[in-house]
Amino acid sequence: MPADIENLLTAHGLMDDYNQRPRYQRNDYLGWVARAKQPATRQKRINQMLDELRAGGVYMNMEHAPSRKA
């Protein structure tokens, strides 16, 4: 995970929300952000990821049922 994203997740109190997502979602978010060609696009994607983690129940603009860990 890039240090800036890790710092943002921590600063926004969203690291636990991120870690509770299934592995494929965590990987998708990081890959999606990494594939941005322009800094503005990268920032927009990071903001979307943070907003979705904050809101819960959303993944890549789709409804997402949180996983239930025992």
CB atoms within 10 A of CB 18: 20
DSSP single-letter state for residue 13: T
- What pLDDT was estimated at residue 20? 94
- Res 68: pLDDT: 52
Predicted confidence (pLDDT) at residue 8 exceeds the cutoff of 70: yes
Instruction: Indicate the pTM of the whole model.
Output: 0.84
**Cα separations (Å) of 8 from 5, 62, 67, 70?**
5, 22, 23, 28
pLDDT digits (tens, 9 = 90+) for 27-54: 999 999 999 999 999 999 999 999 999 9
